[in-house]
Amino acid sequence: MLLNCGQSMPLLRHTDVPSRVKENFILTGYRFPNYSVKDCLLSAFRPTNETGNFWTHFLPVFIFAYYFVEVFGWEGAPHADSPFFYPLWNYFIGVFCLLMASSMAHLLNSMSLVVREVCFFVDYGTISSYTVGSSLAYYYYIHPRAGIVETGGNNGSQTDLKEEPAGSLSYAIPDFCVFFENFYIPSACLVAIICVLSCCNTRQRWRRHRYLIRTFVFLLPFLVSSTPIFYRLLTRSPYSTTSSSFAASTSTAGFFCRHCFWLLVSAVFNISKIPERLAPGRFDIWGHSHQWFHCCTFLSILDELHLIKAEVKAILLSPTLLLPPATLAPLPGPTITSTYGVMLLLQTTIISVIVWFSWHANCIFGPERDKLAKEHPREHLKCH
């Protein structure tokens, strides 16, 4: 049964498309998987069941960029290309790629069954990259010793370290020292690779519980990357309670709680498939769970950005808490290798994973794609 026939490619019911394309409780608004790139791009302005999925992650790109660039206009902030901002730029790259890959995956996935698989493999890969971008920002701006510069004697009351001698700056929870200093970033990268492997696998096996698996798989990188924040919440602030840096960083806990709240709500939408589960067919175009999932994940990212900005401002406001490199800094400062280099290595690994799964998907769905192309030539699907 054809819907919305006009000058555009027709939209279909769930009974008229391959089973691979069907979504639970979504009955109409489907595009047949033989669209051209032009057809896909034009479908962003048509009421399909993917239109909202596209816009709910495409428009947030501009909202995120608006709040992001605010940092560079702050008083005392170094130039945007300063090493100080390397971790922040890596975070931006992670978020930008996540939002763009997600929106494009929903827009372009109707080109073929194979392209559909590749689109979502890339989507999962950028989610994993984003988690490492967050970890780099956390490591350099929220790390327990981020920015603490030894000045040859003590850091004095400015950092409220109670005259600890140089070289003896200690952790309130000493057991975390080895993890933070040596394993935090490698662990974030390893977990990111495990996540993309697991999520890509859910498109070829474990299909029945794929949404549950994908949701809980990404709980692990959240727990790993958020370790510096958990540490900060469980221990004292590195700033004097009378300093402007302390005032700037007090909002961190609130932003983190909101970040967690939106992640939790997004997980509920992704697993439950509410509201379309309650009224199949009623939320096919607007208001179905994946659109709410997108909105909630972006709100969580936005609160995370505000959290990171609060800690960046706290460091910039303190005359003695300057992000290394600096003389005798206990925490190595950001370099091209330790930030962009880490992301490049991770991206190379993730791309290799995506290529392998894409090849496998082509072996599985290539014959079906060719069969569908013969049975449903595009000129026969057009409306006149």
In angstroms, the CA 59 to CA 352 distance is: 29
Beta bridge partners of 2: 12
Structural contact between residues 236 and 160, judged by C-beta atoms closer than 8 angstroms = yes
How many whole angstroms separate alpha carbon 205 and alpha carbon 214?
12
3-state secondary structure of 61: helix
Cα–Cα distance measured from residue 350 to residue 353, given in angstroms and rounded to the nearest whole number: 5
**CA distances in angstroms from 115 to 126, 259, 365, listed in the order given:** 17, 33, 10
Tell me what percent of the chain is helix, strand and coil, each rounded to the nearest 5.
65, 0, 35
Token couple for 84: 């100080």
Known binding residues:
106, 290, 294
The dihedral built from the CA positions of residue 313, 314, 319 and 320, taken in this order, carries a sign that is: negative
Binding site listing for Zn(2+): 106, 290, 294
Gap between the Cα atoms of 130 and 132, Å rounded: 5
The first and second tokens of residue 10, run together, are 């027709």
Residues 6+ apart with CB under 8 A from 359: none
- Number of helices and strands (H, E) in the chain? 14, 2
